[in-house]
Amino acid sequence: MLGGGGVGLGLGAYENTAEGKVVAMAFLDAYNSVVKAIRGSGEMQRTDKTLRQEAGTVVKAGEVAGQGDVFSPKINGVVLYDKPSANARTLTKLKKEDEAIASGQEEGDFIKVQTGSGKEGWVKKAMMRKSGS
């Protein structure tokens, strides 16, 4: 069992082999390097003051879709509305492989997008994902 700064590693029988000892020492060395880096960097240390500041930080709703972000529907049949409302007129239904570019406008649960075919409208945020994610 290795320990450093309150952290323990249980390696079982592996810690009795030469390879196990090398691996254990590498982990311990890496851990000690991280501790030294954090202690030496004021930006990474947390105090009561910084924790209170971070606790008061509020993430604004609507920061999901930046202007120019590319989105794809999560499923086939995602509705493109003419207004940001599920009761608005349907312009088209998007296929899962379609892509749309966000305009940067958001209203409630909707983001405004422009499809590859040039249609502009509103889609539900929950039904879209950023392309590549």
Lowest-pLDDT range, 48-62, 68-82, 86-100, 103-117?
A: 48-62
Residue 133: what residue type? S
pLDDT score at 84 = 93
CA atoms of 44 and 36, how far apart (whole Å): 11
Same-domain pairing of 51 and 74: no
Q: What is the mean pLDDT of the chain?
A: 79
CATH value at residue 106: 2.30.30.40
In a domain, 65, yes or no: no
- Token pair 């529907």 in the structure block, residue: 73
In a domain, 132, yes or no: no
- The pLDDT-based confidence of 59 (bands split at 50, 70, 90) is very low
In this structure, are residues 110 and 127 in contact, taking their beta carbons and an 8 Å threshold? no
In a domain, 35, yes or no: yes
Same-domain pairing of 52 and 86: no
In a domain, 91, yes or no: yes
pLDDT score at 45 = 67
Residue 29: what residue type? D
CA atoms of 51 and 55, how far apart (whole Å): 6
Average confidence (pLDDT) over 61-90: 85
pLDDT score at 92 = 94
In a domain, 133, yes or no: no
Closest by Cα among 98, 91, 111, 92 to 72: 98
Same-domain pairing of 83 and 47: no
Domains contained in the chain, number: 2
CA atoms of 3 and 106, how far apart (whole Å): 50
In a domain, 39, yes or no: yes
pLDDT score at 62 = 46
* pLDDT at residue 63 tops 60: no
pLDDT score at 122 = 95
> 21 lies in which domain range?
1-57
List the structure tokens of 25.
């020492």
